[in-house]
Amino acid sequence: MKKTVVITGASSGIGYYAAKFFLEGGYNVYGLSRKAGDLAGVNYISTDLTNEESVNAAFDKIVAETGAVDILVNNAGSGISGAVEFTEMSEAKYQFDVNFFGMVRCIKCALGIMRKKGGKIINVSSVAAAFPLPFQAFYSASKSAVNALTMSLRNEVRKFGNIQVCAIMPGDVKTDFTSSRRKNETGDDVYGGIISNTISGMERDEENGMSPEYMGWLIYKVATKRKLKPFYIGGHRYKVFVFLERLLPKSFVSYVLAKMYIK
């Protein structure tokens, strides 16, 4: 019997390629997103991850059709950029509603069935959780929250013995995420032009980043492992960066980030 994987944000980018690899691996693939994708074989369900009723309805449909959620890949996310001082609270809250609470809603739906039949939860975080960039505070904070959620949840479900949880932290990836980011350069004059300069530099890094196909493959590779580690880093050089960040003084890491991005 085919296993079932649920992937949020499966209509494009990393999620699209993750869905492709799971299809090739013989899985029933369900994609939850606002817009349906065009990958043949994926069961797309229009879902608003910020709406609890929408998420509940999607999982009810999946369980009714397949009887299980063997793997949940929490991939969907959005990005905002701008100075903390000039970011509207509604924008900051929406960032967390999608990137963090959207995951929580899906996890709450999946755990009930996973307790009975086992399963894996893969949370897509970001290297930004380890390296919070200037003028990307809320995105970085939302991904740090994902990492904390992952660590807590791993131990919460440990007693059941059949549920595994991990987070994957990609570095820069070349996707439509860059163009869809909500950029706010309000206050650029107050900050001497560094808001726009920093955001432009960040976008250049992303445009020269890893392919979404590689990250989709990594998600599939991790999700099909027998035993999951707490964290996986996407991209070899980012593994080095994260390793060094854990060893070096935080003041030095902060200084290096400032030299790289504040220009």
Which residues have a catalytic role annotated?
11, 125, 139, 143
Q: What are the phi and psi torsion angles at 18 (to 5°)?
A: -60, -45
Would you call 120 helix, strand, or coil by DSSP?
strand
Please, are residues 182 and 93 in contact by the beta-carbon 8 Å criterion? no
Tell how strand 119-124 and strand 71-74 pair up: parallel
Give the residue among 138, 146, 125 at the shortest CA–CA distance from 91. 138
How far apart are alpha carbons 157 and 250 in whole angstroms?
A: 32
DSSP 5-55: EEEETTTSHHHHHHHHHHHHTT-EEEEEESS----TT-EEEE--TT-HHHH
